[in-house]
Structure 1
Amino acid sequence: MRPLLALIPVTTRTAQRNFRTSAIRHLQSDFDQELLAGQNLPFNIQHKWKLATLMISYVSMAVAIPLFALRWQILKKRAS
């Protein structure tokens, strides 16, 4: 039981040291760039025409796929 009590202050000091080093690393990173609008998106929103093209193609594919599936089923039913 005695050796376990001796490890508690060492563990606490290690945890404090790890927290301090991670806090320093976090402050040295480019954290201020992450707070800008659009920086956390997987696509670039600075080019408005490219963004508009991507959004239109995304929405049109979402509408077109069920219609193609419907056409496929109707043609399949007619063939049999």
Structure 2
Amino acid sequence: MLAPLARASNKLGRNVMTNFIRNHSHGGVPGENLPFDLSNRYKLTGLFIVFIGSGLSIPFLVTRHQLLKK
């Protein structure tokens, strides 16, 4: 009873992903689908340091805030 529904759902999912890939792919250029530019290595390094550094510093900042609280 559920098998035809499962097959239809699977086919629909496959069709949606195929259409998405077909319509949103612009070629085989590496880094084309990334939300940042790879051409300027210094800007990329700075953004990487800020992104990773902000995530790693949060636990230390929260601990400092808790220890300084009265």
Which TM-score applies when normalising by structure 1? 0.53
Asked if 1:71 corresponds to 2:64, the answer is yes
Q: Percent identity?
A: 31
RCO comparison, higher one (Cα < 8 Å, 6+): 2
RMSD between aligned residues: 2.1
- Consecutive unaligned residues of structure 2, counting only runs of 5 or more, are 1-21
Largest Rg, 1 or 2: 1
CA distance in 2, matches of 1:35, 1:65: 37
Cα deviations by residue, 1:24-70 (Å, 9 ceiling, x for unpaired): xx6xx8x5x43210000000011000000000111111111111101
Please tell me the residue identity of whatever aligns with 2:47: L
1:50 aligns to 2:40 (yes or no): no
The count of corresponding residues between Structure 1 and Structure 2 is 49
| CA distance in 2 between partners of 1:66 and 1:34 (Å) | 41
Distance 2:45 2:54 in 1: 14
Any unmatched runs of 5+ in structure 1?
Answer: 1-25
TM-score normalized by structure 2? Answer: 0.59
